[in-house]
């Protein structure tokens, strides 16, 4: 209760937290109550009366906002609690950044996503408006503005009404009073006639005050511009957040007709074009029209576009400028990291990484990148100091062990085996029985000539491996050590055959098994192992996936080292050479080389060797090949009425074939290049039927049946009824050819799968 000269009312006795806010003052008076009056009952005596709000003050600190928002942003698609950074630039504008938190043992080159944006606050009597603008970021699954709006919406929830990029808290004073007074036994006061004002205190705290009959200060120019931009682009922003990029771009262009050269709307069009594959030139052309004062926030987009179009030096300069101007530490660090990644000057790269870590000391990818840069320059002591910093950032023995294990692998990859041994030993101090650290130490010892101890450590690590992938990797290392250092080929073959067929190491294991069996004189076993190598390699050829609609998912995925495609291709060429020299089997050699060429399309060695083998094939071999059809040699069927047009680029392949003067190896290279070009164009514009038709025919000509099937199925799913009728015969023909090839190669189950799929197509409407 409050008794003063103005009358009787209610006041807040102490500050009350509400989420990330603190209500530090609340005063109301009861109208019509005059002295003398009995106040002995306290608040409960006046609980039936409705007071009139006189003053409300609340406080918001940037650190409190960071702690409150981080766990709520999991709902924005991050799938983990991100790192949130907030800085109050003025009484009406804040800079925010949301970024992925990577553990210290994550030595991936590619960092996780990060988005930064400005948030303007605009009070209007007892309403409060928040406006998102100037969004930018790295590695985002959708345009930055859409991600920024999703973050704010996930943090606020249903408390505010969204329209485009603006959020409005209607009657926010009444909303806050409802959180404080009813639990204390009092009614919510009337808040009509209240005016709001904002102040910035100590550079990190906002004070919002609402007083009756007060005078609201004039908003800042930047806030008014943000409000006007939000009003102009509201419809387009809604489409952008919904994932309709085509509709959003059209609506933005309509808004630009009403407000020509509006910098914020132009920036959002550029943002869409930059994010959409194949529109880099259009985005750069529009970017050139932006006036210099408004071009600063677009340096990140400019850098990405210039890199995509081949201007590496211009891209590096743009990233450096973005890092200098960017207020958010995480995004600035990513900009410098990009500059270091693409520059050709090692010293300039090191300086950029120094700047990245000066802005964001916890930027794990930049720290690991600097470790590698130091090692490449021979600065082992500086690299070790960075690893110690990562060790200090790691929490727990397992994380610290992983840091030193990653460091050991980095040293080992650069041939610094003595230092790698020390690092693996340090990892084992934290987790003595870690199989990965034991295997790493064994590899370092093996490089130093300690084969016996290395095999002993690998055997121990294999017995401690807890999952199949780990045991397969360690088992392959053990097999190599037995064969190449202890010369125990039978034991090495036994270890290699123990690796399951569906393990990532299986192709290499089958290839090495074939090599070792051939050395022992087991021709039948070697040929069978090489055949399994080829079958596994054929299953590794990446299939074309249909373009996906943008999804606001920012979960950071682990980027492992990937499959050793080059080693698998080398083993296939080795298998082909053995089949020719030892068994004079031209057909098997040709199939091995074809698989290697598919696995590494730009590897000229496989293409040239394949051409040489084909040119050496005898007529009898051609006849055998005709009896056992393979996609590499089959003629593509003709599709009447569905012939694509060829605009620009290489001439049509039928003209190349009929010319007779083109070398087969050069033709293979041209075809592979044309496939890559068409694939990029189709990803940029999935609706381009002409490009899709040309790509389909070309995939048939080069024998990439699995990719052809994926392309046709993707088009079939999105086709109209009329188009579906035209596509179904092509899909059935492709399935039948794949089934025939699988049957000829002894893969009966796979052939049955293709034929079952064709039957289901026949049964579908």
What does DSSP say about strands 52-61 and 21-29: parallel, antiparallel, or unpaired?
antiparallel
Q: How far apart are CA 257 and CA 310, in angstroms?
A: 32
Report the mean per-residue pLDDT for the chain: 81
Give SS3 for 377.
Answer: coil
Compute the average pLDDT of residues 721-742: 78
Portion of the chain with pLDDT greater than 70, in percent: 81
Q: Where are the beta strands (DSSP E) in 182-277?
A: 194-201, 205-212
Q: Given this model, what pLDDT does residue 528 score?
A: 92
Interval 597-633: pLDDT, tens: 888 776 666 667 766 676 665 444 444 444 444 434 4
Confidence of residue 655 (pLDDT cuts 50, 70, 90): very low
How is residue 299 written in tokens? 């340096």
Among 157-161, 245-249, 252-256, 406-410, the minimum mean pLDDT is found in 157-161
Residue 31 clears pLDDT 80, i.e. is over it: no
Among 384-393, 625-634, 743-752, the minimum mean pLDDT is found in 625-634
Residue 472 clears pLDDT 60, i.e. is over it: yes
Residue 240 clears pLDDT 70, i.e. is over it: yes
| Cα separation values, 27 from 8, 44, 170, 197, 205, Å | 10, 17, 21, 16, 22
Q: Given this model, what pLDDT does residue 406 score?
A: 92
Q: Given this model, what pLDDT does residue 10 score?
A: 77
Other Cβ atoms closer than 10 A to 542: 11
Stated as kind and residue range, the H or E segment containing 589 is helix 586-599
Confidence of residue 546 (pLDDT cuts 50, 70, 90): very low
Q: Given this model, what pLDDT does residue 293 score?
A: 66
* Nearest residue to 165 (alpha-carbon basis) of 219, 115, 230, 101: 230
Contact 672, 601 (CB under 8 A): yes
Portion of the chain with pLDDT greater than 90, in percent: 34
| Helix pair 604-616, 565-583: axis angle to 10 deg | 20
Compute the average pLDDT of residues 116-122: 94
Q: Give the residue, 666 or 249, on which the prediction is more confident.
A: 249
Q: Given this model, what pLDDT does residue 210 score?
A: 86
How is residue 187 written in tokens? 């009614």
Compute the average pLDDT of residues 684-707: 75
Residue 355 clears pLDDT 90, i.e. is over it: yes
Q: Given this model, what pLDDT does residue 628 score?
A: 41
Q: Supply the DSSP symbol for 184.
A: G
Q: Given this model, what pLDDT does residue 236 score?
A: 95
**Maximum distance among all Cα pairs of the chain, rounded to whole angstroms:** 121
Residue 483 clears pLDDT 70, i.e. is over it: yes
Residue 131 clears pLDDT 90, i.e. is over it: yes
Q: How far apart are CA 172 and CA 746, in angstroms?
A: 72
Confidence of residue 270 (pLDDT cuts 50, 70, 90): very high
- According to CATH, the topology of domain 500-627 is 1.25.40
Q: Given this model, what pLDDT does residue 544 score?
A: 36
Confidence of residue 235 (pLDDT cuts 50, 70, 90): very high
Q: Given this model, what pLDDT does residue 675 score?
A: 73
Interval 180-232: pLDDT, tens: 888 877 788 887 878 888 888 888 899 988 888 777 778 888 899 999 999 99
Give SS3 for 84.
Answer: strand
Q: Given this model, what pLDDT does residue 2 score?
A: 57
Q: How far apart are CA 384 and CA 389, in angstroms?
A: 9
Q: Given this model, what pLDDT does residue 327 score?
A: 94
Interval 40-53: pLDDT, tens: 555 555 566 677 88
Q: Given this model, what pLDDT does residue 476 score?
A: 92
Q: Where are the domains of the chain?
A: 2-232, 500-627, 628-765
Residue 691 clears pLDDT 60, i.e. is over it: yes
Stated as kind and residue range, the H or E segment containing 516 is helix 506-520
**Cut 0.75: pTM above it:** no
Q: How far apart are CA 125 and CA 191, in angstroms?
A: 10
Compute the average pLDDT of residues 78-92: 88
Q: Given this model, what pLDDT does residue 368 score?
A: 92
Interval 416-440: pLDDT, tens: 888 999 999 999 999 988 898 898 8
Q: Which residues contact 73 (CB under 8 A, 6 or more apart)?
A: 81, 82, 84, 98, 151, 154, 155
Q: Given this model, what pLDDT does residue 512 score?
A: 95
């Amino acid at each position: 209760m409050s008794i003063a000269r103005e009358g009787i009312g209610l006041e807040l006795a102490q500050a009350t937290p509400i989420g990330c806010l603190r209500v530090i003052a609340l005063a109301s008076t009861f109208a019509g109550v005059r002295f003398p009056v009995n106040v002995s009952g306290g608040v409960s005596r006046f609980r039936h009366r409705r007071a009139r709000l006189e003053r409300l003050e609340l406080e918001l600190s940037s650190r409190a906002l960071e702690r409150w928002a981080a766990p709520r942003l999991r709902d924005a698609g991050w799938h983990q609690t991100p790192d949130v950074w907030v800085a109050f630039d003025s009484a009406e504008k804040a800079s925010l950044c949301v970024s992925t938190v990577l553990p210290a043992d994550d030595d991936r080159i590619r960092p996780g996503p990060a988005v930064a944006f400005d948030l303007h606050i605009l009070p209007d009597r007892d309403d409060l408006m928040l406006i998102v603008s100037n969004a930018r970021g790295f590695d985002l699954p959708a345009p930055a503005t859409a991600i920024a709006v999703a973050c704010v919406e996930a943090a606020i929830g249903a408390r505010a009404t969204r329209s485009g990029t603006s959020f409005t808290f209607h009657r926010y004073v009444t909303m806050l009073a409802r959180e404080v007074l009813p639990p204390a036994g009092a009614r919510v006061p009337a808040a009509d006639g209240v005016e709001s004002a904002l102040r910035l205190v100590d550079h990190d705290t906002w004070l919002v005050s609402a007083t009756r009959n007060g005078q609201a200060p004039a908003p800042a120019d930047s806030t008014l511009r943000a409000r006007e931009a939000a009003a102009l682009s509201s419809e387009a922003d809604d489409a952008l957040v919904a994932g309709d990029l085509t509709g959003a771009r059209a609506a933005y262009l309509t808004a630009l007709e009403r407000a020509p050269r509006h910098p914020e709307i132009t920036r959002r069009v550029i943002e869409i074009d930059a994010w959409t594959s194949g529109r880099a030139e259009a985005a750069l052309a529009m970017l050139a029209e932006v006036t210099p004062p408004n071009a600063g926030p677009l340096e990140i987009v400019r850098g990405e576009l210039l890199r995509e179009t081949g201007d590496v030096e211009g891209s590096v300069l743009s990233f450096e400028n973005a890092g200098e101007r960017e207020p958010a530490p995480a995004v600035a660090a990513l900009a410098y990291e990009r500059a270091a990644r693409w520059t050709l000057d090692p010293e300039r790269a090191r300086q950029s990484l120094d700047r990245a870590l000066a802005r964001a000391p916890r930027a794990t990818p930049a720290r690991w990148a600097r470790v590698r840069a130091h090692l490449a320059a021979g600065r082992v002591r500086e690299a070790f100091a960075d690893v110690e910093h990562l060790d200090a950032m790691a929490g727990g023995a397992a994380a610290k062990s992983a840091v030193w294990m990653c460091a050991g692998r980095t040293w080992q990859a650069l041939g610094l085996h003595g230092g790698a041994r020390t690092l693996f030993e340090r990892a084992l101090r934290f987790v003595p029985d870690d199989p990965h650290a034991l295997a790493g130490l064994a590899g370092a010892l093996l490089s130093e000539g300690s084969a016996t101890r290395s095999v002993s450590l690998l055997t121990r690590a294999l017995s401690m491996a807890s999952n199949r992938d780990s045991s397969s990797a360690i088992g392959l290392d053990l097999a190599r050590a037995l064969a190449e250092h202890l010369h125990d080929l039978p034991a090495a073959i036994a270890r290699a055959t123990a690796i399951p067929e569906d393990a990532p190491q299986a192709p290499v294991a089958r290839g090495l098994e074939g090599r070792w069996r051939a050395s022992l004189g087991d021709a039948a076993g070697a040929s069978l192992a090489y055949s399994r190598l080829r079958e596994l390699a054929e299953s590794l050829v990446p299939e074309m996936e249909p373009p996906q609609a943008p999804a606001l998912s920012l979960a950071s995925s682990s980027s492992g080292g990937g499959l050793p495609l080059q080693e698998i291709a080398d083993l296939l060429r080795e298998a082909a050479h053995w089949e020719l020299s030892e068994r004079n089997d031209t057909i098997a050699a040709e199939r091995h080389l074809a698989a290697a060429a598919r696995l590494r399309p730009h590897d000229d060695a496989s293409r040239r060797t394949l051409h040489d083998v084909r040119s050496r094939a005898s007529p009898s071999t051609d006849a055998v090949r005709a009896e056992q059809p393979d996609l590499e040699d089959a003629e593509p069927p003709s599709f009447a009425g569905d012939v694509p047009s060829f605009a620009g680029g290489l001439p049509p392949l039928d003209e190349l074939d009929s010319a007779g003067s083109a070398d087969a190896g050069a033709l293979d290279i041209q075809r592979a290049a044309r496939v890559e070009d068409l694939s990029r164009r189709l990803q940029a514009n999935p609706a381009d039927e002409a490009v899709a038709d040309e790509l389909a025919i070309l995939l048939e000509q080069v024998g990439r049946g699995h990719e052809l099937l994926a392309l046709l199925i993707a088009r079939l799913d999105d086709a109209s009824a009329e188009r579906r009728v035209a596509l179904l015969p092509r899909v059935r023909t492709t399935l039948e050819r794949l089934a025939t090839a699988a049957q000829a190669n002894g893969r009966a189950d796979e052939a049955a799968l293709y034929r079952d799929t064709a039957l289901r197509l026949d049964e579908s409407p």
